[in-house]
Amino acid sequence: MALHDIEAVEVEFPGRSRGPVGGILVRIAIAVGLVTFVAALTYLGRAGYIDPEDDSVSLLDAFYYSTVSITTTGYGDIRPVTDMARFLTTVLVTPARILFLILLVGTTLEILAQRSRDAYRRLRWRNTLTNHVIICGFGVKGRSALDTLLAHGVAREEIVVIDDDAEARRRATAAGLTALAGSAASTDVLEEAGVRSARSVVVAVSRDDSAVLTTLTVRELNPDAIIVSAVREGKNAHLLRQSGATSVITSAEASGRLLGFAVQQPKVAEVLEDLITLGQGLDIAERAVEEEEAGPCAALSMPGPIVAVIRGEELMRFDDPRAREVQPGDRVVYLHSNRHKSEREPA
């Protein structure tokens, strides 16, 4: 892959100020204002100016004089002849001319400096981009994933967003994230996002076929990353797993099941909703088993009930006989409450 291909990917950093186009437009507006100011000044004092062509200064002549004066072209065909006109030219038109030149030169220098700053910031960002999280798609699912990551202590500087929608990228940079423009299935975009050194990738794009292609491309570029992919329809989940997804979340069916519980068993639905609302009520978490804790699972000191044990790459649920005994290096998945102790204690 050529270097210029990577540089073609647009990177938007958090807290980005008005872009170069906006800055140029502001300067153009100021320049037009200066021209208009000098033209108005000339026209109001037209009796003090002379035009050899017709011995009068019209509004058009005033704007013509303003432009050639401001830009220092100075043909000399329209010129001040009275003392008052020359005085106003000295104290007002000349400073306007200097300010116009400063705007012209300043705009050029700022554009060059901005490009240098952007190039340096991008290079520094790429050099520090490692062991990070990439969110592919910053719609509702992507933003919810961000909230969960932040709640679990992941720093904003460790998260990169990829989305081809400008509004989604604006939301990402407003949230303090770095965003890349383009398709998450593009090798060039993923390379620029540092996918080879990423620890995990969240695939939250809107289409199932895009999710499959993105997952496949990510897995090809980074065989070791944790890839969590969302799919709308359960029938496509196996395609994501075959493409290399570590975990597959079926968003549409999960929502449908929650709706079904809400109809038949509203309190069960309330518990499930409580579990997926991070930081409130019930939460689910995991922790490692220490060397001295090896033994019966029931003997572990836990803030809530254990629902599963992870041993290596295998997940053993609480009713699995092998989960009755834990070993050093196992990870236990448990429920806990976010309510303060004082709130749990009876009055």
Share of residues in the chain with pLDDT > 70 (%): 84
Residue range(s) of every CATH 3.40.50.720 domain in the chain: 133-254
Could you read off the pLDDT of 127-151 as tens digits, one per residue? 888 999 999 999 988 998 998 888 8
CATH architecture of 279-344: 2-Layer Sandwich (3.30)
What is the distance between the terminal CA atoms of the chain, rounded to a whole angstrom? 67
> Under a CB-based contact definition with an 8 Å cutoff, are residues 179 and 172 in contact?
yes
Question: Torsion angle, CA of 337/175/221/201, rounded to 10 degrees?
Answer: 20
Instruction: Using DSSP bridges, classify how beta strands 331-337 and 282-288 pair: parallel, antiparallel or unpaired.
Output: antiparallel
pLDDT at 164: 93
User: Containing H/E element for 101?
Assistant: helix 94-127
pLDDT of 345 reads 41
255 phi and psi, to 5 degrees? -65, -40
pLDDT tens for each residue of 330-340: 999 998 887 64
The residue type at 41: L
Each residue's pLDDT tens digit, 209-252: 999 999 999 999 999 999 999 988 888 889 999 999 998 988 76
Between 115 and 48, residue with greater pLDDT: 48
CB-based contacts of 264: which residues, under 8 Å, 6+ apart? none
Cβ atoms within 10 Å, residue 111: 13
Which CATH code, of 1.10.287.70, 1.10.150.120, 3.90.1150.10, 1.10.10.410, is assigned to 15-127?
A: 1.10.287.70
pLDDT for residue 199: 94
Q: What are the two backbone dihedrals, phi and then psi, of residue 317, each rounded to the nearest 5 degrees?
A: -75, 170
Distance in angstroms (rounded) separating the CA atoms of residues 225 and 34: 58
List, by residue range, all CATH 3.30.70.1450 domains of the chain: 279-344
Distance (Å, whole) CA 219 – CA 277? 30
- Does the domain spanning 133-254 belong to CATH 3.90.1150.10? no
For 141-167, letters b (16+ CB in 10 Å) and e give bbbbbbeebeeeebeeebbbbbbeeee
Residues 94 and 86: beta-carbon distance below 8 Å: no
Q: Do strands 200-203 and 226-231 pair parallel, antiparallel, or not at all (unpaired)?
A: parallel
- Encoded amino acid at 192, one letter: E
pLDDT in tens, 70-106: 777 766 677 676 767 767 777 777 777 777 777 777 7
Q: What is the dihedral of CA 79, 85, 90, 93, to 10 degrees?
A: -70
Q: Is residue 5 pLDDT above 70, yes or no?
A: no
242, 249, 251, 323, 347 from 331: Cα distances, Å:
26, 21, 26, 11, 36
pTM, rounded to two decimals: 0.60
From-to residues of CATH 1.10.287.70 in the chain: 15-127
Provide, rounded to the nearest whole percent, the portion of the chain with pLDDT above 90: 35
